Amino acid sequence: MTKPSTSPLSTWVLSAGLLAGAGLGLTPGCATPGPPQARGACDDFDLDVEKIWGNAKRREVRDGLRTFAGESQVVNVDRIVTKMDAITTDWVMMNRRACKDTLERQTMPEEIYVRVSLCLNTALVQQRTLITQLGEVDRTSYEHIDRAMLDISENIATCQNQAVLAYYKTPEETADSEAAQTADSKTAEAKTLLALGKSEAASGLLNDAAIAAKRSGDERRSLDATIAACNHAVLQGEYDKAIVYGAPSLTQAQKLGYAIGEADALTCLGTAELRRGNHEEARTHLESAMRQRESFFGKDHPRVADAANRLGNLEAAVASYKTAHELYMRALDIWTKTFGADDPVTSRAYHNLGFVHIGLDDVEGAVAWYQKAIEAETRSLGKDHPATALSEANYASVLLLQEKIDDAYALLNHAIEVQQRILGPGHPEVAVSLHGIGEVWAARKGYASALEWYAKALTLRKLAFGEHHLETAKTLDAMATAHYKLKQYDEANTLAEQALKVREDMLGPDNIVTATSYFNCGLIAEKRKKYKDALRYYEKSLLVEDKVRGPGHVLTKQTRAAVNRLGDLVNGR
Alpha helices (runs of H) in 447-553, residue ranges in sequence order = 447-465, 470-485, 489-507, 512-527, 531-548
- Cβ atoms of 86 and 78 within 8 Å: the answer is no
CA atoms within 13 A of residue 239's CA, in its CB half-sphere: 13
pLDDT of residue 26: 33
CB 131 within 8 A of CB 53: yes
d(CA 434, CA 424) in angstroms, rounded, equals 13
Answer whether residue 327 shows pLDDT above 60.
Answer: yes
∠ CA 245-246-248 to the nearest 5 degrees? 80
Reported as a pLDDT band with limits 50, 70 and 90, residue 11 is very low
pLDDT at residue 3 greater than cutoff 70: no
What the chain holds in terms of domains, given with CATH numbers, is 1-25+45-167 (1.20.120), 173-298 (1.25.40.10), 319-381 (1.25.40.10)
CA dihedral 301, 305, 306, 311 (to 10 degrees): 140
Please say if the pLDDT value at position 8 is more than 60. Answer: no
Residue 10 has pLDDT above 60, yes or no: no
Q: Tell me the average pLDDT across 470-496.
A: 97
Q: pLDDT at position 39, please?
A: 63
| Closest to 351 measured CA to CA, from 117, 331, 198, 564 | 331
Instruction: Look at residue 571 and tell me whether its pLDDT is greater than 90.
Output: no
The answer to whether 512 and 555 are in contact (CB under 8 A) is: no
Q: What contacts 24+ positions apart, CB below 8 Å, involve 481-487?
A: 481/442, 481/520, 482/438, 482/442, 482/447, 482/450, 482/451, 482/454, 483/447, 483/451, 484/520, 484/523, 484/524, 484/527, 485/442, 485/445, 485/447, 486/447, 486/448, 487/527
Return d(Cα 248, Cα 418) in angstroms, integer: 41
Say how many Å lie between the first and final Cα of the chain, rounded: 97
Q: What is the pLDDT of residue 30?
A: 35
Q: How confident is the model at residue 573 (pLDDT cuts 50, 70, 90)?
A: low
Return the pLDDT at 517.
97
**Considering only 4-13, 131-140, 406-415, which range has the smallest mean pLDDT?**
4-13
Average pLDDT, the chain: 89
**Structure pTM?**
0.82
CB 110 within 8 A of CB 3: yes
Phi and psi torsions of 237, nearest 5°: 80, 15
